[in-house]
Structures are given as C-alpha cells and as structure tokens.
C-alpha cells in the first residue's frame, strides 16, 4: 500500500467538502452535515482492494476536464485513482441498458463499505459513464446528490425531460425519485453521495 494513502484519501474527502461548501443546491447542506459526522481519521482508514473497469479508459480525459473546474479535487482524485475499488451494480447488464453499457459504466466508493473509510450509513463516491450512454430510470430509498465534474451530461428526474447540467452544478434526488442520466460525446465523471438509507441498492424501473 502507498504509505501516503490515508492522507490522500482524506485529502479527497476534504477537497470535495471544500468545493461543495459554497454551492447552494438542494441537498448540499445535508451532504455536508452528514459528511462532517463521518470518521475519516487514520484509525478509521482501511485500504480497499483496488479493482479497475473498462470505463476507466475515460478517466484521464475526465480528470483533465475536472482540473478546469477544481484543481484540488482533480489532483486528489489522481492521487488515489490506482487504489479505488471500481464496481458495477450486479443486476445491470447490456441486455437491460444497451450494448456496451457495462464497458462504459462504473462507480467507486470513497466512503462506504468498499471505500477508504466505512462510513455510518453514508456513501460518498465517484461515478463514471462513457460517451453516448443512457443510464435509464432507476430509484432507491437513499437521498442522493450528484456533482458532475465534467460538462455535457443530461439528467431527468421523475420521468421528466432531460436537461443538460453544467459542469460543477449539483443535482438532488429525493428518496425513491426516478432518475436517469445521458451522456453525449464527453464521458461523465461525477461525485455522488447517499446521505442515509444506504442498505438498499438502486433498482431499474420498468421491465
């Protein structure tokens, strides 16, 4: 294990908190309050089992784009990128989400059971979605914040029209709200957070 890893993991958590602080989107205050309750001390640190996914081919480009938004967050992600455990929802398949989806999707926990700190019914992580993908309607009991670090992603809530969300804006999904995400030419890298009720995974809507 890289001996700077606990420090770098905490750097990433703190860089995200610092970056969210001045933003006033719905749910940001709840995320920051819950984040402040999490134990990110050296004593709580444990190294995840690093795991990669094909979608990470897009990560360097996305970190480069993140540099333009927040250099501290971008550098902190780069410092831990080799140590993250990238995963996919076990119920997701190309048959359900479109040919090539599983090669273009993945998420990693920063705080959570597979992250650097276990968290107390709280998940903080990164999501990647490759270009020209449609992560269709899904829902979960956990309230969720997304913070896209890259530009060009489109978001739909409650089955409504997709709207492009600018790089650095935040998106809030109340418990059980349907939500979906689309990308065009640019891959999406986003910070996400589940503030509570994290025990039930996301479920795709419909057949």
Return residues touching Fe ion (CB under 5 A).
144
Q: How far is the CB of 144 from Fe ion (least distance, A)?
A: 5
Q: How far is the CB of 72 from Fe ion (least distance, A)?
A: 26
- Report the residue number, 109 or 144, with the smaller CB distance to Fe ion: 144
- Report the residue number, 76 or 142, with the smaller CB distance to Fe ion: 142
Backbone angles phi, psi at 110, to 5 degrees: -95, -50
Give the integer Cα–Cα distance in Å for 25 and 87.
28
- Report the residue number, 79 or 123, with the smaller CB distance to Fe ion: 123
Contact present, 26 and 172 (Cβ < 8 Å) = yes
Alpha helices (runs of H) in 21-165, residue ranges in sequence order? 28-36, 59-69, 71-80, 94-97
Residue whose beta carbon is closest to Fe ion: 144
Q: Which residues pair with 124 in a beta bridge?
A: 111, 193
Q: How far is the CB of 139 from Fe ion (least distance, A)?
A: 7
Q: How far is the CB of 183 from Fe ion (least distance, A)?
A: 15
Largest Cα separation within the chain, whole Å, is 47
- Report the residue number, 57 or 204, with the smaller CB distance to Fe ion: 204
């Amino acid at each position: 294990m890289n001996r700077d890893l606990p420090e770098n993991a905490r750097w990433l958590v703190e860089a995200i908190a610092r970056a969210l602080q001045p933003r006033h989107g719905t749910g940001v205050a709840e995320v920051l309050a819950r984040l402040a309750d999490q134990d990110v001390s050296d004593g709580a640190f444990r190294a995840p089992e690093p795991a990669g996914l094909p979608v990470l081919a897009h990560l360097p480009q996305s970190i480069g784009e993140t540099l333009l938004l927040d250099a501290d967050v971008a550098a902190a992600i780069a410092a831990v990128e080799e140590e993250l455990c990238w995963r996919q929802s076990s119920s997701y398949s190309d048959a359900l989400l479109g040919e090539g989806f599983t090669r273009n999707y993945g998420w990693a926990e920063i705080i959570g059971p597979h992250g650097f700190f276990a968290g107390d019914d709280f998940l903080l992580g990164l999501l990647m979605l490759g270009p020209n993908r449609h992560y269709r309607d899904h829902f979960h009991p956990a309230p969720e914040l997304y913070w896209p670090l890259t530009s060009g992603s489109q978001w739909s809530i409650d089955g409504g029209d997709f709207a492009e969300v600018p790089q650095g804006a935040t998106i809030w999904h109340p418990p059980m709200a349907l939500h979906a995400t689309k990308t065009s030419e640019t891959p999406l890298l986003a910070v996400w957070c589940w503030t509570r009720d994290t025990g039930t995974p996301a479920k795709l809507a419909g057949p």
